[in-house]
Amino acid sequence: MLESFRDSCRFRQYMPSKPAKYGMKLFSLVDTMMFYTKKLEIYAGKQPEGPYFQDTSTNALVKKMIEPISSTGRNVTMDNWFTSVPLAEQLLTDHNLTVVGTMRKNKPEIPNEFKRKGLKVYSTVFGYKQKETLLSYCPKKDKTVLLLSTMHNDGVIYETSEKNFQKSLNFIIKRKEE
């Protein structure tokens, strides 16, 4: 998230797509059942080489953030900036954590059948690989949403969850278009 901040600071970020264009970029690990922030990191930009160097790659950041919940069998819900198949596999095998998250279409591990446009509206395509499930959903014409899960391993869509899913996706798409 971007916490609004207009003063001068070396690691102040500019994000034109956010309501507050300038601020501090924060990453947080939040327990959604207890509404409790377990860990919070400030993004300080790309780090120079030296004795205080910190790896700011998405994989390193996720591994640092999940330290308090490693090996607890919980689920981690991620943004599309973090979600990738190798990271999901690693969290499942090394840390006993499942992952659910939307994915960007530019990831090399995504088959072309899941990225293609022209799918029928409200159509869903499932793909399975060992313990991962990849879902491609078309909420409107020429719009595809990709979802990766290591928590779910069947292609069953219940009528009530399909309606809730459609409402959630419409909300997400609407927010991204604004």
Tell me, letter by letter, the H, E, C secondary structure of 68-94. HHCCCCCEEEECCCCCCHHHHHHHHHH
- Our measurement of the distance from residue 123's CA atom to the centroid of its chain's CA atoms, rounded to an integer in Å, reads 22
Residue 58: both structure tokens together: 């998405």
pLDDT value, residue 130:
82
> Per residue in 103-124, pLDDT tens?
988 888 888 888 777 778 877 8
Question: pLDDT under 70 in the chain at which residues?
Answer: 154-178
What is the DSSP secondary-structure string of the chain?
-EEE--S--TT-EE-TTSSS-EEEEEEEEEETTTTEEEEEEE---SPPSSTT----SHHHHHHHHTGGGTTS--EEEE-TTT--HHHHHHHHHHH--EEEEEE-TT-TTS-HHHH-S-PPTT-EEEEEETTEEEEEEEEETTEEEEEEESS--S----HHHHHHHHHHHHHHHHHHH-
pLDDT value, residue 55:
81
pLDDT value, residue 43:
81
Domain ranges of the chain: 1-56, 71-178
Q: Are 126 and 155 in contact (CB under 8 A)?
A: yes
pLDDT value, residue 58:
86
Q: Are 115 and 134 in contact (CB under 8 A)?
A: no
pLDDT value, residue 63:
92
Q: Which amino acid is at 160?
A: T
pTM, rounded to two decimals: 0.75
